[in-house]
Amino acid sequence: MEFRGYALEAVDLAVDLVNTYNAFRQTDGLTDAEALESFLREHNRPEVRIGDRDLDGVRELRERLRAIFEAHDQRVAAVAINSLLEESGALPRLTDHDGSEWHLHYTAAKVPLAEELTAVTAMGLAVLMSDKRWDRIHVCEGDRCLDVFVDQSKNRSRRFCSPEVCGNRASVAAYRQRARAGR
Give 56-99 pLDDT, tens digit per residue. 999 999 999 999 999 999 999 999 999 999 999 998 888 888 78
Flag whether pLDDT at 2 surpasses 70: no
5-135: CATH homologous superfamily? Jann2411-like domain (1.10.3300.10)
Instruction: Report the distance separating Cα 140 and Cα 23, nearest Å.
Output: 11
Asked whether the beta carbons of 30 and 55 are under 8 A apart, the reply is yes
Non-local (6+) Cβ contacts of 145 within 8 A are: 24, 160, 161, 165, 166
Parse the chain into domains and list their residue ranges. 5-135
Instruction: Report DSSP state, residue 127.
Output: H
Question: Bigger pLDDT: 1 or 166?
Answer: 166
Instruction: Report pLDDT for 99.
Output: 81
Write the pLDDT tens digit of every residue in 113-125: 999 999 999 999 9
Instruction: Report DSSP state, residue 47.
Output: P
Cβ atoms within 10 Å, residue 179: 9
pTM for this structure? 0.87
